[in-house]
Amino acid sequence: MLYATSRKQPKPTVTTRPTAILLISCPDQEGSGGADLGILFQNGGNIIHADNHIDAETGLFLMRVEWELDGFQILARKSPRDLHRSRNG
């Protein structure tokens, strides 16, 4: 499952620029999350925070990535639903 949202930070912790947050929840497997970070990098995303966790009990890979939207190209032409489609083929 893939979620994406954007927000403006009222109290900046790292940046005062608008950011987006990507939440990933999927079965744990080799390379989980790597393609998603590649999509951000290839489209000019500046990652300012990332964290991941594997839930051994459920076998889920969980990831949260926050990046700056300034210069990020994909959101100018695609919605979060389109990002989900490009990730899942």
pTM of the model: 0.64
User: 69: closest CA among 20, 3, 14?
Assistant: 20
Write down the pLDDT at residue 40: 84
pLDDT: is 81 or 66 the higher one?
66
CATH of the domain at 82: 3.30.70
Write down the pLDDT at residue 62: 92
pLDDT, tens digit, for every residue of 14-24?
677 888 898 98
Range of 36's domain?
2-88
Residues facing residue 24 across a β-bridge: 2, 63
Write down the pLDDT at residue 80: 58
Domain count, the chain: 1
φ/ψ bin of 83: left (φ > 0), alpha (ψ from -120 to 50), beta (otherwise): alpha
pLDDT, tens digit, for every residue of 26-63?
888 877 667 678 888 888 888 999 999 999 999 999 99
User: 53: closest CA among 23, 83, 87, 11?
Assistant: 23
Distance, CA of 1 to CA of 82 (rounded, Å):
13
Sign of the alpha-carbon dihedral angle for 24, 84, 22, 80: negative
